[in-house]
Structure formats: C-alpha cells, structure tokens
Amino acid sequence: MHNDFALLLNLAASLVLALIFGLITEKLRLSPIVGYLLAGFMLGPQTPGMVADPKMAAELAEIGVVLLMFGVGLHFNLRELLSVRRIALPGACGQILVATALGAWLMIASGLGWRSGMVVGIAISVASTVVLIRMLMDNDIIHSPQGHIAVGWLIVEDIFTVLVLVALPAFAPAELLPEGESVSLWYSLLLAVVKVSALAFVVVGGGRFVIPWLLGLVASTRSRELFTLSILAIALAIATGSAFIFGVSMALGAFLAGMVVGQTEVSHQAAADALPMRDAFAVLFFVSVGMLFDPYVMIERPFLFLGLLSIILLIKPLTSFFIVWFLRYSVRTAITVSIALAQIGEFSFLLAEEANRLELLSHDGHTLLVACALVSITINPLLFRAIGPFESWLRRRPRLWQALLRRSEEKGATHNQSIRNRIENSETEVLQSKTAVIIGYGPVGRTASSILKKFGVQPIVIDLNLDTVRAISETGELAVYGDATRRDILEAAGILQARYLLVTIPEMLVRTAVILTAMDMNPEVRVFARARYLKEKAWLEELGTKGMVTEEGETAIGLAALLLRELNADEQLIQEEIRRVQKEFSLGSHGAELAMPEAGRSQKGSV
C-alpha cells in the first residue's frame, strides 16, 4: 500500500517537515535553509522514524536545481557586474584561489585524495546567493555601495561555479568512461569547451529569436496558466536537452535559458511565475542534501571539520577584507563584503551533488560540506549584527583605525584636496548661494541634485564610488569621495558653510552617524532625510531632522491618489485627503523651505 503512494509520502513528509523547521529557524531569525537541511536530516537514515527514498528525493531535487539556476540566469545582470568589475573580478578570483588552495590542502593532508580535495576546496570558496541576498535585504543594504559590490562579487562566483560544473566530468576517474576508455585531461577540457560553446550558440544565439517569439505568442493569449506553463517547459526542456544532447549539466542549460528569457520584454512576469516554483522545488533540493548529513563524520574527523569551518568563517572573510581594503575602499565596505561572503550554500551543494555523481567526492567530504553549510548559514546573521559593534570597537583604537583608514584615504585624497581648494577659492560665491550637501548619488541623490540646481541651490555630493565622484567633477559640479560619517570628509564638502544636508542613503545606522556628525559640526544646518519606514520618523526627529520622506508613506499616498483619480474622484478632495494623511503622519510637512514656489514651477529660480 505504501509503495503505491511512495512519491506522495516522500513529497508530503519533506514539505511538512521543511515547513515546521523553516518556521522554527525563521522565528530564531536564522536562514530557513538551516531548517530545510535539518528537515532532510530528520528524514535521513541517521535518525529514527520514517526514512525517505533518497533516489526519489534526488530526482525531485533535480528540478529544484534547474529552477534555481534558471532564476540565477533570469536575474543575471551584466551591467551591474561591469559597474563594480574593478573590485568584484580581482576580489572574487583572489578569494576563490585562497580558499580553494587551503581547502584542498586540508583534505589531501587528511588522506581524502586530491579529487575530493579539489571539489571541497572549490565548494567552500563560493557563497550562497540565497543567504547573501537575504542578509543584504534584512540589513537594508542591498542598494548601498557595499551591497552592489557584494552582489557583483557573487555574480563572479556564480559564473565560476557554472564553469566548474561544466569542467567536472573531465576530472572523473577513467573507469567511469565507457569500456574503460582513457581520455587525456586536456582533451576532455577541450571537448567540454566545445560542447558548452555549441550549447551557448544554440540556446543564446537561436533562443534569442525563438524564445521571445514563443513567449510573446503565449502572452498574447492573456492566459496566466499557459504563460506559467511555457516558462516551466522552456526551463526543463533546455535543461534536459543540454544533458542528453550536449552532455553538459542541466544546471548550465537552465542558466543559459534564464539568461535568454531575462532579456525579453516579459522577463518580469517570467520571474514572478518562476519564483514560486523555484522556491518550492529548491526546498526539496535542500531537504535531499540534508538526508545525506552524517553527524558521526564530524565526531570521527573533528579537526578536519573545524579546519574547513575556519576557512569559511575566518580565512574567507579575512581574505575578502584584505582585498577590498587593498583596493582602497572604506573599512565599512570591507567589513560588510567580507561578512556577507562568510557562508556556503546552494552552489556548494550543486558542486557536491555533481561531484558525487561522478565519484569525485567521498561520502565524508559531502557530509562535511553539509555540516559546514549548516553552521555557517546559522552564524552568518549573527556576524551581520556584529558589524556595527565591531566597527565601534575599531574606532575606539585610534592607531589601528587610522592605519586601516590610511589606504582608503589615499584613494580620494588628491581629488578631495582639489575640491576643497575649489570650495575655498569660491568661498564668497558659495556663501552667497544656498548650498546643500547631498549624501549618496544613487537615483535619489542624482534626481535631488538635478532639481536643486534648477532652483539656485548649489549641491555638493559625497559618495563612496570614486568613479562616480570623478564623473560628477568632470561636469564642473562639486563632489567629494569618502565616508560621510567622517568629520574630515564632511568638512571637505563644506558642511561648515552649508545651509542644507540631504541624506539619501537607505541604511539607518550610517544615516544616523552622518546626521549626528554633521549637526555637531554645524548646528545651523537644516537636515532632510530619506527613510524607508514610518517607524523611523520619531528617531529621525529626535536627531534634529527638519524633514523626511518615508518610502512607505509616500508610496501609500501615491498609489491611493492614482486609484482615486482612476475612479474620477474630485481632485480637490484628493488633495485634501493627501494633506490630511501627510499631517497625520507628518509626511512632507517640513519641506516648505525647499518647496518649489508656484510662480517658479516652470522656470529656473532661486529657493
């Protein structure tokens, strides 16, 4: 009887336990991945009770792998990678090299062979996309300079992982080849490159015409079911075709398919439809990995386990910190990026699963990877919470702090001195005009700067991206490179003479430090800040902020106004309701001094 329902029993047990343990870990503010791995462990042979069919679970998990890689391809952003290429490329390559070398050496020294050593070394060198993005979002830094660098770094690691997945069969033992045929390593690598090139040509070259046409045809039917079905069919068909026709991994085929779909006009809807399927089957992937976890290996090889974990939690972050610091980025950027990468996850498991299939990885090596993932994913949120206290600890040691700052200061010192000279040479002109120091030059800062210039306000930008600062300066505008929490950087930007301070960065902790330092230096400066949530309002007012714009509140007002106009509501009543809500939540009520006068809305004027 049970055999008749084996698939449903395995599926139900996996999803129910994943839900239970996922909820528990979520309540503990840990990554749900930890819960999914623990659910798999509970269904594995090492614990009493029901033992799920690992073969069946692996087949279901294969769909999760395909959809995971399809999602990576959908969100693969070449432009974002290029914007941080000067740090992401050397940083990721250097960190991968160090972690791989140490991990491989540790495995070989423990007598587990060079093949297992190579796989484990590479697996512990790459971070989890799911965990990293989640941590950046939870800490509100996904759109910060640190977040962009971390994501670009991760994209390089993703590309590296895809290449390794393609090359792994070339390292398989000769006895696995048909009839014991022996093929040289270089020939295998060349053959793999040819196969990948052929697959890329067919999928990317041919698919860029066929896939958009097919998705456009399906979208024209306005059938949500057909569109979702087409996304799933494209992902699975190209992935399985890659394996059976070209002999490469299904993960690579799914990644290329996602890249093609991501360039179409319907990419956002495709991502929205693929996301629920990806998340559901990805859960099964993590559960299947957890089934292979054997805690006795940690007891039998404690030093090897602690050694691998030390590479993930200490060597990788230290290497990343040193590379970011050496490339003259700020200390906060170095700390944030290094902590974000101090974990391993789904890509490590993808490598381990493929290596296990090719008999490149021993059972002990696979189990140690799962154990390291469990611990590193659990600890990563705690490390993120320690970033602020750790930076404060460094600041309380002036000699160490100055030694760390010296490298990043050199990067923009020459530029900042030239800007300081320009401000001093035109000090009379600057004092006669109304100046506004703008912190951050993302979309918000860029738009604010453009508007202020039209109304006679002189913007002076502070940003952590030296390329951005130089580009602004080349247009004749004033921009300073550096960390706006530092007094010397604010002084270089003319905060002592400035009338206004606009803080456009999203991170609450950095925003607070900037406002406190600026108001201590110039108590007369009027501060206007960006905030994400309404709950930040009271804290910003306590700091002395004269006005703020909350994304939560303004979005709600904007959407409601659009809907009311769609319903043909009276415009005067709409405006009265907007003013009532703004007054109730103090939204936009402090911005009168910088508001555009009625007579000057269509012409350049002064504020």
Domain borders along the chain are 61-172+182-277+300-361+377-389, 414-546+590-600
More confident residue, 419 or 430: 419
Return the beta strands (E) in 64-170 as ranges.
none
Distance CA 204, CA 186 (A): 26
Residue 424's CB is within 10 A of a number of other CB atoms, namely: 10
- What residue spans of 341-386 are helical by DSSP H? 346-357, 363-385
Distance CA 62, CA 158 (A): 18
Distance CA 573, CA 588 (A): 18
DSSP state of 437: E
User: Strand pairing partners for 529?
Assistant: 503, 548
- Give pLDDT, residue 589: 45
- Give pLDDT, residue 175: 55
Question: Of all helices (H) and strands (E), which one includes residue 500?
Answer: strand 500-503
93 CB-contact burial (10 Å; exposed 0-12 / middle 13-18 / buried 19+): middle
Distance CA 119, CA 168 (A): 9
In whole angstroms, how large is the CA radius of gyration of the chain?
27
Residue 188's pLDDT band (boundaries 50, 70, 90)? low
Question: Of all helices (H) and strands (E), which one includes residue 90?
Answer: helix 85-109
- Give pLDDT, residue 565: 82
Residue 303 reports pLDDT greater than 70: yes
Q: What are phi and psi of 479, to 5 degrees?
A: -150, 140
Residue 136 reports pLDDT greater than 90: no
DSSP state of 548: E
Q: With H, G, I as helix, E, B as strand and everything else as coil, classify residue 273.
A: helix
- Give pLDDT, residue 76: 67
Distance CA 484, CA 527 (A): 14
Q: What are phi and psi of 354, to 5 degrees?
A: -65, -40
Residue 83 reports pLDDT greater than 80: no
Q: Which amino acid is at 159?
A: I
Question: Minimum mean pLDDT among 28-32, 191-195, 296-300, 356-360: which range?
Answer: 191-195
HSE-CB of 349 using CA atoms within 13 angstroms: 33
Q: What are phi and psi of 437, to 5 degrees?
A: -85, 125
Q: Which amino acid is at 46?
A: Q
HSE-CB of 449 using CA atoms within 13 angstroms: 22
Strands 457-463 and 547-550: unpaired
pLDDT digits (tens, 9 = 90+) for 94-133: 999 999 999 999 999 888 888 888 889 999 999 887 778 7
Residue 8 reports pLDDT greater than 90: no
Distance CA 52, CA 42 (A): 9
CB 388 within 8 A of CB 206: no
pLDDT digits (tens, 9 = 90+) for 377-387: 888 888 888 88
Residues 6+ apart with CB under 8 A from 263: 208, 212
Distance CA 186, CA 318 (A): 34
Residue 604 reports pLDDT greater than 50: no
| Structure-block tokens of residue 176 | 């696995």
pLDDT digits (tens, 9 = 90+) for 196-224: 777 777 777 777 778 888 888 888 888 87
Region 290-302 average pLDDT: 82
CB 504 within 8 A of CB 444: yes
Residue 601 reports pLDDT greater than 60: no
* 3-state secondary structure string across 204-223: HHHHHHHHHHHHHHHHHCCC
Residue 27 reports pLDDT greater than 70: yes
Q: With H, G, I as helix, E, B as strand and everything else as coil, classify residue 550.
A: strand
- What residue spans of 327-475 are helical by DSSP H? 331-340, 346-357, 363-385, 387-395, 398-425, 427-432, 443-454, 466-474
Question: Of all helices (H) and strands (E), which one includes residue 460?
Answer: strand 457-463
Residue 603's pLDDT band (boundaries 50, 70, 90)? very low
CB 184 within 8 A of CB 119: no
| Structure-block tokens of residue 330 | 């700020």
- Give pLDDT, residue 586: 59
- What residue spans of 201-300 are helical by DSSP H? 207-220, 224-245, 250-262, 267-291, 295-300
- Give pLDDT, residue 314: 94
CB 239 within 8 A of CB 254: yes
Best CATH choice for the domain 414-546+590-600 from the list 3.40.50.10210, 3.40.50.720, 3.40.190.10, 1.20.120.1200: 3.40.50.720
Q: With H, G, I as helix, E, B as strand and everything else as coil, classify residue 601.
A: coil
pLDDT digits (tens, 9 = 90+) for 548-579: 777 777 777 888 888 888 888 888 888 888 77
Residue 233 reports pLDDT greater than 70: yes
| Structure-block tokens of residue 150 | 């971390």
Q: CA nearest 292: which of 200, 337, 228, 355?
A: 355
Distance CA 102, CA 311 (A): 8
Distance CA 62, CA 253 (A): 13
Query: Would you state the torsion angle of the CA atoms of residues 83, 89, 95, 99, taken in this order, to the nearest 10 degrees?
Result: 130
Q: With H, G, I as helix, E, B as strand and everything else as coil, classify residue 503.
A: strand
Residue 144 reports pLDDT greater than 80: no
Residues 6+ apart with CB under 8 A from 482: 330, 408, 409, 412, 416, 462, 464, 488, 489, 492
